[in-house]
Structure formats: C-alpha cells, structure tokens
Chain A
C-alpha cells in the first residue's frame, strides 16, 4: 500500500453478542474431561487489560463486550475493518453514550472485542448497539520499512505502543514463542481472525491481557502460516481455553522478515496495550 494514501474512517454499527451454546453444555478439554464453557463471548465482567490470561477459569474470555452483526456479510466487514484502538460509543440501552475502544477481534464467524470502563460495562446487556469509528486497515506509517506490514491497528495508537522505528523495528514483547505454539487461527485471514497460542498455566510463562507477543516463523500478511525467518507481533486479546489447540489469543498488528522486526523480550517490565492507552481508566 502506498505510504501517501490517507486512512479512511467508516462508522459501523455492531450489536453486543449473546453467548451461544448447543444442545449439550459440554466441551471436552485436552485431557478428555467435559467442561461447561464460561465467558466465551458476550459481555464478560470482572477481567480487564493487565490481568493474567490464566487468572480465570473461562474459555476465550475477553475483557469487555463482544460485537457482532446479524447479517453475515456485515459481520465480516465489521470485524475486518475494526482496528485496535478504534473509538466506540454505546448507542442504545442503559449505557447509551458510554465510550469504549476496540481491544481486538476474534475469528470463526467473527467478533470485535470492545473495552469499556467497568462501571459502563456493568450496565450493558446483549443486544445493545455500539457504533465503532473503524479506521486503520491499509494505513502504514511513513517510517515503516517496506518489507513490514501493519494491520489491525488504529493509526493513532501505534505511537503509544512500545514499537520503535529503526533499521529493524524494535518491539517490546512479553514473550517470544516458536511457531509450533501457534494454534487455532493458522490458515485463516489475519485481518479477521486471532491466533490462539497453545500456552497453559503449567508452561511457566505468565501472559497478561494486552501484552504484545512475538511469534517466530509465522507470516501474517494475508492468511497466517509458516514462513521461515519471519516474525509476527500480536496483542493478547482474550484469555486461555481448555480446548486443545486453543489458548490465549493474539490479534496480529505487525508482520515481516526477522531482519526487519526485532522483538525484545521484557518478561518482567513489558507494558503493551493498557486501559490508560485506551483512555478507559
């Protein structure tokens, strides 16, 4: 994409999702034990950016409200166009007028995760309508090396993240993971689907909602897949999952050759996407 092109803002309406389950309440975890999934979509209270992805016994629980659209094509467009940091405003219901911001998105049929202040979120319910000022797809800052692709990120948020221009773009991350830890999301479009990390609480590495993560040998320009000597950076947008092949998910924001993106692992001091950056405090 030409660096001179201006990003376009499109207001889109989403509806706060209601969780859905099938006739059986059970899913089956990696050890074959049935469990009832809690927190998989809709309005989830009690967790926020900065919390450990392992702090709750949920399944893909995200910090905020998940938006969808009743029309399948409109739902895909909503998810594809929304970018992390986009402003959102509640249009209906008890929290009408409340401001939020896009934290990330999830795949399958697609949903947008929008963060709100806890007091606003507590007044929201499934069916509430939320308008999002979608902006960012196609944007690339002038300083970004031509071989690096940016996606899923509001242009105004980039400068606030721990991303530093240079011969190689230096990015502070909580952890650098090998590609074999990539799970659900492989083979799916990075603009509309998150990439689950096959990490559990027993792996000895803590990860927090909002953390930036680097995954090596994964190319996320189009579909996500294996490419040697490549690296992709994502924002941690939802919590862990008992499902095999699933786990905490990242929404990709940067991808490029290893020579052009240099992740710096800050296990203890890393700060990625926070409520302060999104003005949700």
Chain B
C-alpha cells in the first residue's frame, strides 16, 4: 500500500506539468479563437442575447419602472432564467458548441493534426472543454449581467437600492454561478455524447426531455439530472405548476454545499468517461 502510494507520488512529481500547462495554453488559444469567431457561433450569440434584448426594450418602454414593480420583475427574471436560459438558451448553446468541438474536427477532417501532436488526448479533452466552457460561460454570463442591469437599472435609485442594499446583488451572483454551472454540466455531457454518437442531436433531444421531465422520476434518479441541482441553486423559487405536477415526485432538497460539488462531480465523471473514450478513438473520416 505504502509502496503504491510512493509510486503514485513519484509519478505525480515526475509528470511534465510545465509542458502540460504550456500545451493547455496552446489548445485554449486555438480553441477559444475558433469557438468565439466562427460563423456557427452566431446563433449562440443570438440565443444568448434574445432575453437581454427583451429586458432592454422593457427598460426603454418603462423608463421609470414597470407597473409590476421590482418584486414582479424579479419573478419575471426568475421565470425567464429558469425556462429560457437554463432549458433553452444554455442547453442549446452548449449543444451547438460542445458537440462541435470534436465532431467539427471530424467533419472538417482536421482532428488528425491534434492526434499527431505530442499532446495527451486527455489533455485535449480538458483543453477543448475548458475553451468551450470559457466561451459559453462568457457569452451567457454577459447576457445575464446585461439583462439584470437593464431590469433593475430602469428603476433608478430604487433599483440600485434593491441591488446594492437589498437581496439583488446576491441574486445576481447566484444567477451567474448557476449559469456557469449549467455550462459546466451540459457542456461535459454534450462533449461526451459527441464522442459516442456520430449524430449527437437525437441523444441531445433525449437529454432535453430528461432534463424537462426528470421531476416525475424517482427521487434518487432525479439527482442524475443537471437541472435538479441548478433549480435548487436559483435564488428565486418558482412554484410547480401545470399538468406534470400531478406526477412529480418531490425529491429532498439539497443544500448548495451538496448541489455545487454534486454537479462538479457529475461533470468530472462525464469528462473522465470522455477521456477513456478518446483513447480508443481512431481516425477514419471516410466512415463519417
């Protein structure tokens, strides 16, 4: 046991960490540039900034604050966040970006350049994933931040007081955290799916159905859903409504101290699977 530990420690200290860091930096430079500026990313930007535009128009139309008041607008923002950002915007944004990280290289027949570089494939997974995460998290967090600013900014001093002296700032931080965690969770899953399926759209739709209707599954199984953790972390609770609530199983709520590490662990587990998968990946573009 001690010998095994000593061997592990030795291989850890002897690992070429500086080289790996330099390689990770190089992968990030290539991939962030690709993700940010390629034509395919335009619809992700559009998807992300639709609600921002709505909140902007809302602010312009009601320059001194809307009739719904701050608490009404807070509820509206919570609905938009949970039903648009989490279930549509971030979900499809991650689907579009993360499934293309490797599939895109296969379609464009350029993955072999990475496979012929002195880079561990696991490092390639980590680098591409981080690049995707940085891109979508940046885009959607910017959208949330702008939307939040528009929503409370047009209330003037009352809005500022809500944000800086009331619960507003805490809400904002929570939304930014949930956005980042959503990108992490959905991103890892879509990356792994793209390594398993040639066409990840169908499994993506299955995932969407699961994420939407997971509440009717047994309480324990619900914990395998990304949305399960995310909704628990949202600062404003939305009461369950509609037909499905008849079948919903109320799972025991989890504290943020479990939800955040739970989601991170889920993503890490999925990425470990992706790392194992890519080790066996062969270049056969003709089959694709």
Partners in one complex: no
Enumerate chain A interface residues (CB-CB to B < 8 A). none
Chain B contact residues, CB within 8 Å of chain A:
none
